[in-house]
């Protein structure tokens, strides 16, 4: 049994559109047995799914507790994993802006075989040349965080998808401990949550990328959101059930670039506009 979990909160309509399409893609492609859990402060947004999903209500006080006293990163994802942890089987945490590409049978088999997953490996700390990445590496290099020290061979992974087996609960606890130790040491970075997962999970030798099975379109979210809005509008106008919408999604997957990189001219225009 795989438990698929996603988190959505706040007032931005796009987050809910995207998470709804994520759920449709899971219904379309996840092999049985599976279950879907949505942690949200807007349960009414998911009434269409009926009993196909479980709702974990997240009120502001719980969300604040998950974020912690220094909400500089996405600690709430680690806290949600701990809250939703299954007694057996596997758990997969997905950002709202993720979609299943196709059948997830082989992904489920890999998870059951003990593989760990994050979306993709972004860079190795000791080899990255990008200025922002190097600043992060220099801020943690040679420092002890509890029992951990980040090595140049450790890597930053994208956490749009996180997949673990129920037997790997200790790894999640270690990632949380490393996160807290970094916070106490004054590390402030938007990707701290990803950093600790990549380091802790990566050192098992079992961590693999999930991008063969999932699209994480944060780099082209505007185009995806527009297409998702159009498709969901059509589905509701046509009075489709969730099952029928899943069939339509299987037949017509969203074929857009995952990432759009701005040209130097576009970056300069944005910089000038922000001055």
CATH number for 13 = 3.90.550.10
Q: Quick one: pLDDT at residue 273?
A: 55
From the list 93, 76, 95, the residue with the least C-alpha distance to 216 is 95
Beta strands in 41-165 (DSSP E): 54-57, 90-94, 98-100, 116-124, 155-165
Q: Quick one: pLDDT at residue 68?
A: 85
Tell me the C-alpha distance between 186 and 35, whole Å: 38
Beta strands in 23-181 (DSSP E): 34-40, 54-57, 90-94, 98-100, 116-124, 155-165
Provide the β-strand partners of residue 89: none
Report the alpha-carbon angle 105-56-37, nearest 5: 5
Q: Quick one: pLDDT at residue 266?
A: 52
| Sequence-separated (6 or more) residues with CB below 8 Å from residue 195 | 136, 140, 150, 156, 182, 189
Q: What is the DSSP string of 219-240?
A: GGHHHHHHHHHHHHHHHHHTT-
- Domain tally, the chain: 1
Report the alpha-carbon angle 252-218-202, nearest 5: 105
- Which secondary-structure segment (H or E) carries 170? helix 169-184
CB 53 within 8 A of CB 23: yes
Distance from CA of residue 100 to its chain's centroid?
A: 12
Q: Quick one: pLDDT at residue 269?
A: 58
CB 63 within 8 A of CB 79: no
pLDDT tens for the chain, residues 1 to 275:
999 999 999 999 999 999 999 999 999 999 999 999 999 999 999 999 999 999 999 999 999 999 987 777 899 999 999 999 999 999 999 999 999 999 999 999 999 999 999 999 999 999 988 998 999 999 999 999 999 999 999 999 999 999 999 999 999 999 999 999 999 999 989 999 999 999 999 999 999 999 999 999 999 999 999 999 999 999 999 999 999 999 999 999 999 999 886 655 554 555 455 54
Q: Quick one: pLDDT at residue 275?
A: 47
Q: Quick one: pLDDT at residue 264?
A: 53
Tell me the C-alpha distance between 204 and 202, whole Å: 5
Provide the β-strand partners of residue 77: none
Tell me the C-alpha distance between 61 and 268, whole Å: 41
Name the pairing type of β-strands 34-40 and 98-100.
unpaired
Q: Quick one: pLDDT at residue 71?
A: 73
Tell me the C-alpha distance between 199 and 151, whole Å: 9
Domain coverage including residue 185: 2-274
Name the pairing type of β-strands 2-8 and 90-94.
parallel
Distance from CA of residue 228 to its chain's centroid?
A: 18
Tell me the C-alpha distance between 219 and 273, whole Å: 21
SS3 178: helix
SS3 101: coil
Distance from CA of residue 86 to its chain's centroid?
A: 18
């Amino acid at each position: 049994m795989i438990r698929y979990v996603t988190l959505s909160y706040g007032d931005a309509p796009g987050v809910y559109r995207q998470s709804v399409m994520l759920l449709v893609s899971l219904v379309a492609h996840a092999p049985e047995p599976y279950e879907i859990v949505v942690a949200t402060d807007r349960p009414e947004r998911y009434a269409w799914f009926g009993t196909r999903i479980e709702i974990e209500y997240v009120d502001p006080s719980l969300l604040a507790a998950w974020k912690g006293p220094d909400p500089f990163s996405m600690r709430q994802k680690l806290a949600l994993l701990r809250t939703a942890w299954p007694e057996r089987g596997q758990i997969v945490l997905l950002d709202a802006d993720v979609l299943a590409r196709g059948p997830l049978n082989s992904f489920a088999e890999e998870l059951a075989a003990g593989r760990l997953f994050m979306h993709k490996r972004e860079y190795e700390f000791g080899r990255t040349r990008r200025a922002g990445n190097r600043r992060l590496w220099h801020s943690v290099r040679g420092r002890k965080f509890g029992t951990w020290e980040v090595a140049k061979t450790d890597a930053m992974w994208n956490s749009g998808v996180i997949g673990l087996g129920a037997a790997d609960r200790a790894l999640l606890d270690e990632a949380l401990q490393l996160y807290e130790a970094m916070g106490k040491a004054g590390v402030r970075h938007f990707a701290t949550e990803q950093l600790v997962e990549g380091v802790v999970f990566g050192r098992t030798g079992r961590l693999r990328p999930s991008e063969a099975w999932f699209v994480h379109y944060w780099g082209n979210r505007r185009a995806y959101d527009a297409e998702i809005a159009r498709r969901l509008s059509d589905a509701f106008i046509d009075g489709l059930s969730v099952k029928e919408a899943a069939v339509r999604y299987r037949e017509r997957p969203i074929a857009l670039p995952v990432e759009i990189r701005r040209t130097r001219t576009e970056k300069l225009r944005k910089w000038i506009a922000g001055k």
